[in-house]
Amino acid sequence: MIKKVTETFLLHYPFLKSFQPNVYLTRIKKEDRLAIESVHREYCDNYSDQIFSISNRASIAIYNLICFCKPPVILDLGSGFTTWLSYYATRNSEGTTIISVDSSYDWIAKNEEFLHKHNIDSAIINYQTFKENSPNLPYGSFIINDIGDPGNFTLRESSLSLLTEYVRNGAILFLDDIHKPSVKAAALKFIRENNFRFQDLCSVTFDHLGRYSWLIFAEQNES
Ligand SMILES: C[S@@+](CC[C@H](N)C(=O)[O-])C[C@H]1O[C@@H](n2cnc3c(N)ncnc32)[C@H](O)[C@@H]1O
């Protein structure tokens, strides 16, 4: 049976016990909210489109999760605005490695141009290359899974199997587009088969296009 986490996934992460989910995921300094909204607008107007990019509400939740969790590695599956967001959220902290991956060479080139404009000289890795040489991710890493053509979620769904060991070893997975029945079915299968937990973030990420996200993670031992 699938065990939904009714309170907060943070209860399973002893080092984060004190935070309340709705408060910590939606509260943000005005200057950070304005910066995120402004770059998101620029990104959607000039490089992508709202329907292809993560929503503003999901961006704020991701920003807060990164700031609180301070992950050693952020794996950004599906490059674009989330790549900039990962750099923005870690700008004042040291020691976070950001790995951005995408399946389309054209898209990688376009996003590298966008990132370069924001003084981020990061190479985006092709999905196939990443799949063939998947690195180990340390405990507490953060994975944003927003990969693939939004008209066809098969890559998003199949990419979950690549993430099993990461989540088992303590990575936290932010999975977007749960409103799509096929994505939700794949997420539930992934959770059930691995006895993972999930936190429904619908109340904090639901946007005007009906999209929302889940957090998926393995139960952690408190020691
Ligand atoms: C789902 S988006 C990931 C977006 C990223 N996480 C973000 O928040 O912006 C990644 C995929 O969408 C496709 N894509 C994004 N914008 C597109 C556009 N304007 N037209 C066609 N395909 C696009 C690319 O092929 C890419 O592989």
* pLDDT tens readout for residues 66-103: 998 899 999 999 999 999 999 999 999 889 999 999 99
Nearest CA to ligand 1 atom 19: 48
Q: How far apart are CA 125 and CA 131, in angstroms?
A: 10
**Whether pLDDT at 138 is above 50:** yes
CA–centroid distance, residue 149 to ligand 1 (Å):
6
Spans of all domains in the chain: 3-217
Quick one: which atom of ligand 1 is closest to the CA of 78? Answer: 3
Q: How far is the CA of 112 from the centre of ligand 1 (A)?
A: 13
Our mutation pick for probing the ligand 1 site, out of 76, 107, 147, 159, counting the most ligand atoms within 8 A of Cβ, is 107
pTM score > 0.75 for this model? yes
Ligand 1: which of 37, 40, 52, 103 to mutate, most ligand atoms within 8 Å of CB? Answer: 52
Three-class secondary structure of residue 27 per DSSP: coil
**pLDDT per residue over 6-35, tens digit each?**
444 554 554 444 445 566 788 899 999 999
**Residues 63-82 as b or e (16 or more Cβ within 10 Å = b):** bbbbebbbbebbbbbbbbbb
Residue 52 has pLDDT above 60, yes or no: yes
- Please give the Cα distance from 194 to 207 (Å, whole number): 29
Residue 57 has a pLDDT of: 95
- What is the reported pLDDT for 22? 66
Please provide the average confidence, as pLDDT, over all residues in the chain. 89
Index of the ligand 1 atom closest to the CA of residue 48: 19
Ligand 1 atom nearest the C-alpha of 82 is 8
Q: 222 pLDDT exceeds 90?
A: no
- Residues with a CB atom less than 6 Å from ligand 1: 48-49, 52-54, 78, 80-82, 102-104, 107, 146, 148-150
pLDDT score of 203 more than 50: yes
Residue 80, amino acid: G
Contacts of 219 by beta carbon, 8 Å cutoff, 6+ apart: 12, 195, 196, 197
What pLDDT is attached to residue 1? 35
Which comes out higher in pLDDT, residue 42 or 16? 42
Distance in Å, CA 118 to ligand 1 centroid: 18
Sign of CA dihedral 205, 53, 108, 116: negative
| Over residues 113-134, mean pLDDT | 96
Q: Are 28 and 58 in contact (CB under 8 A)?
A: no
Sorting pLDDT into bands at 50, 70 and 90, what band is 163? very high
Cross-strand bridge partners of residue 98: 74
Rounded distance, CA 200 to CA 188, Å?
Answer: 12
Q: Are strands 172-175 and 214-217 parallel, antiparallel or unpaired?
A: antiparallel
CA of 14 to the centre of ligand 1 (A): 35
Q: State the Cα–Cα distance between residues 123 and 120, nearest whole angstrom.
A: 9
Instruction: Kindly report the protein residue whose alpha carbon is nearest to atom 18 of ligand 1.
Output: 48
Tell me the CA–centroid distance for residue 16 and ligand 1, in Å. Answer: 32
Can you count the helices (H) and strands (E) in the chain?
Answer: 9, 8
The CATH architecture to which 3-217 belongs is: 3-Layer(aba) Sandwich (3.40)
Instruction: Please provide the size of the chain in residues.
Output: 223
